[in-house]
Structure 1
């Protein structure tokens, strides 16, 4: 009888998900419910890049609308950090530049594609006791939000290969001492994965 029960237990456990799949599923539902950071990417095309593509990354000088001050080149920095994990040939502009200048620099470097980014909107809500002491506005307590726009341009033809809009919001469990730029790294890394056809 004991061996039968042990066999039944082993068969039941073999049909269950492994621990990493269960953790990924739990994290997905917690993001969707607003407990953890969440982002949504809307893409124009479902274009794929070759793994050996040379990508040049730049950011426009646009100041995001909203209540937040961000580092001038933070989107390009976070995009570079995400893309360098998947593309062996990646360069980034040192400071914000205009689109025409970015295309010219990318072409001079021999890059196949320009990833041009813009921090469209940011809302830096109160997330620490120090910020509360400065503002003391109850309606400003809560999760941060950000919106970034991305254009992927083929440098040889100036063809707009893909464009994306990434909206992110902080989670109820993670908003303490967080800023809108802290929400950018994971969705930009995900975007690099999608360009290669990889799934998370």
Structure 2
């Protein structure tokens, strides 16, 4: 509660802030304080690509450490949902593939880039009483780590790679799964490839 009050006080003092900026900053501080879902993305490059680029999305057949029951293609599915709003030409592999197989499918589809994803690690804590009774997991926030590589299909040049670490919030962990943390940061990654901020979308 102290974090929320402090954040609101800081926002109130910054009278020149637009309402959209105020919402963004409040959400950021609430997430950083652990109340809401929060993600941190580290990219090796700051490259941008054109919005008409054709992107093929695939996920490697890696079982995430700490979460063996995750849906096999969930990262590719969430990445497709996040990218399709910003890139009109997007396709997704139907099942997990090795890198060579994903590259072959991307080239066969005529894609400019392959977005290759990997669900590296997750922590699936109990989000309700039933889960606690069934699994004996600790009650609390979930965590996830995913890795992505953006590769040119013509020459296999690694354009960018990123690691995204996410954690659930104290106000949002009820009935949540690590998979629920994937969508928002992957959509943010799509925006970052275009150089678009969330608050610019509705201006």
How many angstroms apart in 1 are the aligned matches of 2:61 and 2:23?
39
Q: Which 5+ residue runs of structure 2 have no aligned equivalent?
A: 1-14, 199-203
Identify the residue that residue 63 of structure 1 maps to in structure 2. 63
Q: After the TM superposition, which of the residue ranges 189-198 and 60-69 deviates more from structure 2? A: 60-69
Q: Say yes or no: does 1:101 pair with 2:101.
A: yes
How many angstroms apart in 1 are the aligned matches of 2:50 and 2:114?
14
Which of 160, 163, 166 is 1:162 aligned to? 160
Q: Which 5+ residue runs of structure 1 have no aligned equivalent?
A: 1-14
Cα distance 1:136–1:99, how it changes in 2: closer, same or farther (>3 A)? closer
- Shift of the alpha carbon at 1:19? 2.9
Q: Is the 8 A contact 1:39 1:166 kept in 2?
A: yes
How many angstroms apart in 2 are the aligned matches of 1:16 and 1:127?
40
Bigger radius of gyration: 1
Q: Say yes or no: does 1:175 pair with 2:173.
A: yes
* Superposition TM-score, scaled by structure 2 size: 0.88
Cα distance 1:191–1:142, how it changes in 2: closer, same or farther (>3 A)? same
User: Aligned pairs, how many?
Assistant: 185
Cα distance 1:108–1:188, how it changes in 2: closer, same or farther (>3 A)? same
Q: Is the 8 A contact 1:68 1:180 kept in 2?
A: no
Identify the residue that residue 12 of structure 2 maps to in structure 1. none
How many angstroms apart in 2 are the aligned matches of 1:46 and 1:17?
27
Backbone CA RMSD of aligned residues: 1.4
Deviations 1:165-190 (A, max 9, x none): 00000000000000000000000000
